[in-house]
Structure 1
Amino acid sequence: MDRKAAEAHLDELWQRGRAFLGSRYAIMGGAMTWVSERHLVSAISNGGGFGVIACGSMTPDLLRTEIKATQELTDKPFGVNLITMHPALTDLIGVCLETKVGHVVLAGGLPPGGAIQKLKDGGAKVMCFAPAVALAKKLVRSGADAIIIEGMEAGGHIGPVSTSVLAQEILPAIRDVPVFVAGGIGRGQAMLGYLEMGASGVQLGTRFVCATESIAHPNFKKAFLRASARDAMPSVQLDPRFPVIPVRALVNDGVKKFNEMQRQVIDRFDKGELDMKAAQLEIEHFWAGALRRAVIDGDVDSGSVMAGQSVGMVVKEQQTAEIIRDMIEEAISALADRRTGRAAGAER
């Protein structure tokens, strides 16, 4: 396959994702709290991808400010990621609709009743995370316009199943809406593989942390550049009665502090001082604070250095547009290098 044919084939593979996102390439930026803010989000969109603001624990006013600031930096489409357990979710949805955000990603659990429809009625396209086929089908029936599947190789909050297995289970089963694959993708060849399996696009988080436009502290970026895949480990659940979503991060003293904090929260839960939702929110607040210390303040020893296993493929600081171009070039080169036909096979 020559280069021109390879480029045409790649365009065909992710045409559905590109049309859905309204971007040149169907490459979404993963929503990383404190990292996925106006500068990186606009850089991803300006580079041809699709940036996504990580709302995290922002108040409605803070989210409104962030959206408007991003709109000043890019005229390209971008989205907003909202955590479904946020106590002000309804108000945050209102801010997204008020500011004319075209796409909203609902993450962190099943969306509460009416959330998807409210967004759709307001003109936004809704994307939801699905960790299993049954849940993906339920979300589509509930009105989700697209599904994101994220494997355990990802950084931050993770599920128990690998990206490759999720892709094999879900891609053949969900055809009515676009499906985007995330978790552990660091090279264009892997991106191409998922597109050929039926994905409409991909989502990258870890790969963008060391972009020059990323506001992550130099210490945070250095930790990424030094790390290998095996350094990014999931947190441990201490009590099976108390389900805690694992978080993948580079191992440091912050991980130990989380285990201590988890014991304290479980003890308070056992004493009846906290109900399950309140306990989970305390844990989320812990992660938000620990992540801020690492990303913004540069405390990579006691802060949380959330990273996916693809961190070993992050070897230098690059402009966001260059990272995207590298991914595209790797995919096109992989296609162009292929031999086709039985005769080629016989020559090997």
Structure 2
Amino acid sequence: MQAITKLFKIRYPIIQAGMVWCSGWRLAAAVSNAGGLGLIGAGSMYPDVLRQHIQKCRRATAMPFGVNIPLLYPDIEQLMNIVMEEHVRIVFTSAGNPATWTPLLKAAGLTVVHVVSNSKFAIKSASAGVDAVVAEGFEAGGHNGREETTTMCLVPAVRQAVDIPVIAAGGIASGEAMLAALALGADGVQIGSAFAVAAESSAHPAFKQKIVEAGEGDTRLSMKKLVPVRLLNNAFSEAIHAAEARGAGRGELVDMLGRARAKAGMFEGDLEEGELEIGQVSAALREIEPAAEILERIWTGFLQARHRVSTLL
């Protein structure tokens, strides 16, 4: 755990995932103020919007925070320039080649972390010079790995493959799950779905409510012919699954997806035709509460679970 708390200069080895349409400056600041590491999710932001969120977050917290940037973003150069111009000290990258931007970010003095879904990319990330990797398992919401490797299988494989700190992600929303991830070799955890329903999350209230009402089996991995994404069941996801079952090609799926569907679902609250990205652990989430309470509950649960296991030994 100290590897992560020292790396980011935070109190708890708990990172809030940079989720599109959920992770604005309010959520990032709330998590950082509570002792974790808050991340602004740049994947749903135009460059000028990202700059505004960074500036507002800095005014709202004196603690470290970072920005998550998907490397496939069309305005990637502008986003990277803004991060460096605004003197953000921590960047999490995903969905692309870490070797493209890591050297430049490191030269500018930033701490860089890359999200991976297999050991091969973990090794590639370490070779590119990142400071840590996030091993994100199949359970996670949003964009996911094609291999469908679960967190319990992925974390020990990545731990064996690299010598840099490993952050576990996917299916973690409790202290017990955090303890399990650390037992598998992780140095810390990244948590998305549990913070997506935080009071400070920028997700639409109707989307948050649908998440806390979700049950087991209410999410599925979809669109593997495009970019795999885990979605909460609704009319749109059912249409996608039906199209995939009859062998729809990439072009048809692109047409069905259209534009701004994730914004419509998660940010604007279109629960039937919107794209609702959330993890399997949504089935365990039952209330909307402040981010600080979520973090404290997870940390307290971790300490209790660690004590309980120690008594068994």
TM-score norm. by structure 2 comes to 0.91
Residue pair 1:84, 1:112 contacting (<8 A) in 2 also: no
Deviation, structure 1 residue 59? 2.6
1:248/1:169 Cα in 2 relative to 1: closer, same or farther (>3 Å)? Answer: same
1:19/1:339 Cα in 2 relative to 1: closer, same or farther (>3 Å)? Answer: closer
Equivalent residues in 2 for 1:69-84 (5 A)? 69-84=56-71
**Distance in 1 of aligned mates of 2:98 and 2:257:** 17
**Distance in 2 of aligned mates of 1:180 and 1:331:** 16
Q: Structure 1, residues 193-250: CA drift from partner, whole Å, max 9, x if none?
A: 211332111000001122111232221111011101310111144xxxxx42211111
Q: Which residue pairs with 1:324 in the alignment?
A: 295
Q: Does 1:165 align with 2:165?
A: no
2:106 aligns with one of 95, 110, 120: 120
> What do you get for the CA RMSD once the two structures are aligned?
2.3
1:248 aligns with one of 211, 230, 233: 230
Instruction: Tell me whether 14-23 or 132-141 shows the greater mean CA deviation.
Output: 132-141
**Distance in 2 of aligned mates of 1:26 and 1:33:** 22
Q: Which amino acid aligns with 1:329?
A: T
2:305 aligns with one of 334, 338, 342: 334
Say which SS state the counterpart of residue 171 (structure 1) adopts.
Answer: helix
Deviation, structure 1 residue 295? 2.2
Q: Does 1:86 align with 2:57?
A: no
**Distance in 1 of aligned mates of 2:46 and 2:115:** 22
TM-score norm. by structure 1 comes to 0.83
Residue pair 2:232, 2:278 contacting (<8 A) in 1 also: yes
Structure of larger gyration radius: 1
Structure 2 gap segments, 5+ residues each: none
Q: Which residue pairs with 1:266 in the alignment?
A: 251
Moved over 4 A (4+): 256-265, 282-285
Q: Does 1:146 align with 2:117?
A: no
Deviation, structure 1 residue 266? 1.6
Equivalent residues in 2 for 1:30-41 (5 A)? 30-41=17-28
Say which SS state the counterpart of residue 190 (structure 1) adopts.
Answer: helix
Q: Which residue pairs with 2:209 in the alignment?
A: 222
Say which SS state the counterpart of residue 321 (structure 1) adopts.
Answer: helix
**Distance in 2 of aligned mates of 1:234 and 1:162:** 12
Deviation, structure 1 residue 72? 1.2
Q: Structure 1, residues 89-128: CA drift from partner, whole Å, max 9, x if none?
A: 1221111111111111111122363x11111111111111
Residue pair 2:152, 2:184 contacting (<8 A) in 1 also: no
Q: Structure 1, residues 57-107: CA drift from partner, whole Å, max 9, x if none?
A: 423222111111111111111111111112221221111111111111111
Q: Which amino acid aligns with 1:167?
A: V
**Distance in 2 of aligned mates of 1:183 and 1:195:** 13
**Distance in 1 of aligned mates of 2:218 and 2:160:** 33
1:169/1:68 Cα in 2 relative to 1: closer, same or farther (>3 Å)? Answer: same
Identity %: 32
Residue pair 2:116, 2:122 contacting (<8 A) in 1 also: yes
**Distance in 2 of aligned mates of 1:284 and 1:63:** 25
Q: Which amino acid aligns with 2:278?
A: A
Q: Which residue pairs with 1:181 in the alignment?
A: 168
Residue pair 1:29, 1:52 contacting (<8 A) in 2 also: yes
Equivalent residues in 2 for 1:173-322 (5 A)? 173-175=161-163, 177-237=164-224, 243-256=225-238, 258=240, 266=251, 286=259, 289-322=260-293
Residue pair 1:151, 1:163 contacting (<8 A) in 2 also: yes
**Distance in 2 of aligned mates of 1:202 and 1:251:** 26
Deviation, structure 1 residue 339? 4.9
1:254/1:112 Cα in 2 relative to 1: closer, same or farther (>3 Å)? Answer: farther
Q: Structure 1, residues 117-152: CA drift from partner, whole Å, max 9, x if none?
A: 111111111111122222211211111111111001
Residue pair 1:97, 1:123 contacting (<8 A) in 2 also: no
Residues matched between the structures, number: 308
1:335/1:64 Cα in 2 relative to 1: closer, same or farther (>3 Å)? Answer: same
Q: Which amino acid aligns with 2:51?
A: R
